[in-house]
Each structure stands twice: as structure tokens, then as C-alpha cells.
Homo-oligomer: A and B are copies of this chain.
Amino acid sequence: MTFFADCQARVAADLLSGRWPMVVLYALSHGPARPGELREQIGGISQKVLTETLRRLEHYGLVQRRRYAEAPPRVEYSLTKPGEDLLVPIRALGDWAAAYADRIPTGRKP
């Protein structure tokens, strides 16, 4: 594992940066879900932002979209194997944050 100038871990951290990617991945950890179910489960995310986030996660191969030819058509998202494995560092970040986040200054970067 090379960790210096070519640090690959930052690829993963960049995938997870921003408000929603981790939240959506975690919401999918309970199994496949329809966009409406995800919105309800997550709370506070607009349909537009959820769609964009899912599209981005799909682009990165972390979730897959399945469309069922029903009437009305049903769409479900689920984690891929890489997406599921990414829950390991996500949980580790969550544990760290649970211990320390209230000591970390938020707001603008210095």
C-alpha cells in the first residue's frame, strides 16, 4: 500500500466527500431499495439531489440500478460488492466521528 504522493486512499475519501454519498451507501446497507424508500429513510434529501447522488455512485460502480418491467415500472438500487466493502471504512469513520466530531470545528476551512 503506497501512501505518499500517489496515495490511493484519497480516491476513496474523494468518493465519500460531500454531504450525501456515505449517507446513501449506508441507507442501502439494509438491502435493495426504491428511490422513494431511500428518501423516506434518509430524510432531508431532495429527489433531485438523491438522483444525482445515486447516479454518481452508479458511475463509480458502488451501486447498481435495476429496472423492473412492471406497470408502473419499478426501479431499485442496491450495493455492488465494492460498495458493500466500502461500508467497512464508512463504519470506521462513523466510529471516529462518534468519538470526536463534537471537538472538531465545523464551518469554513481555515
Contact = CB atoms under 8 A, between A and B. Distances in A.
Interface residues of A, number: 53
A33 interface: no
A99 interface: yes
Contacts of A11: 97, 101, 104, 106
B10 A18 contact: yes
Nearest to A82: B100
A77 interface: no
Interface in A58-77: 59-61
B7 A17 contact: no
A88 to B, nearest CB: 5
Interface string A47-65: 0000000011001110000
